[in-house]
Amino acid sequence: MPGFELFGDLERKEVNDVLDSGVLMRYGFDGMRKGHWKAKELETQLQGTFKTNHVQLVSSGTAAVSVALASAGVGAGDEVIMPTFTFVASFEAIMMLGAIPVLVDIDDTLTLDPKAVEGAITDKTKAVMIVQMCGSMGNMNALQSICTKHNLLFIEDACQAIGGTYEGKPLGSIADLGCFSFDFVKTITCGEGGAVITNNPEYYRNADHYSDHGHDHVGNDRGAETHPFLGYNFRISELHAAVGLAQVKRLPEFISIQKRNYTMLRNAISEIPGVTFRKVPEGGEESYAFLNFFLPDLESARKVIDEFKINEVDVCWNYFDNNWHYIRKWDHLKTQKSLFPLSSEMKQGLENIQNKSFKQSNHYIGRNISCLIKLSWTEDEVKKRAQLMVDSIKSTL
Rounded-to-integer distance, Cα 26 and Cα 42, Å: 11
Across 65-175, the runs of DSSP E, i.e. the strands, are: 79-83, 100-104, 125-131, 153-157, 165-166, 169-170
> Which domain does 281 fall in, by range?
252-396
Q: Distance between CA 233 and CA 236 in Å, rounded? A: 9
Contacts of 184 (CB under 8 A, 6+ apart): 2, 4, 191, 192
Last residue of a domain, one of 250, 274, 306: 250
Q: What is the CATH number of the domain that holds 53?
A: 3.40.640.10
What are the tens digits of pLDDT across the range 236-256?
999 999 999 999 999 999 999
Residue 62 has pLDDT above 90, yes or no: yes
Q: Where does the pLDDT of residue 355 fall: very low under 50, low under 70, confident under 90, or very high at 90 and above?
A: confident
pTM: 0.97
Kindly give the residue spans of alpha helices, DSSP state H, lying in the chain: 9-21, 38-50, 61-71, 89-95, 114-120, 140-149, 201-210, 238-249, 251-269, 298-310, 331-334, 344-354, 359-367, 379-396
Last residue of a domain, one of 221, 250, 279: 250
Tell me the CA distances in angstroms from 384 to 61, 115, 377, 389, 394, one per residue in order: 34, 41, 10, 9, 16
Residue % of the chain over a pLDDT of 70: 100
Encode pLDDT of 276-332 as tens digits.
Answer: 999 999 999 999 999 999 999 999 999 999 999 999 999 999 999 999 999 999 999
Q: Reduced to 3 states, what is the DSSP secondary structure of residue 79?
A: strand
pLDDT at res. 352: 87
Q: Which residues contact 67 (CB under 8 A, 6 or more apart)?
A: 56, 58, 196, 207, 210, 211, 234
Residue type, 240: H
- Point out the domain boundary residue: 216, 250, 284: 250
**CA–centroid distance for 229 within its chain:** 28
| 238 and 276 share one domain | no
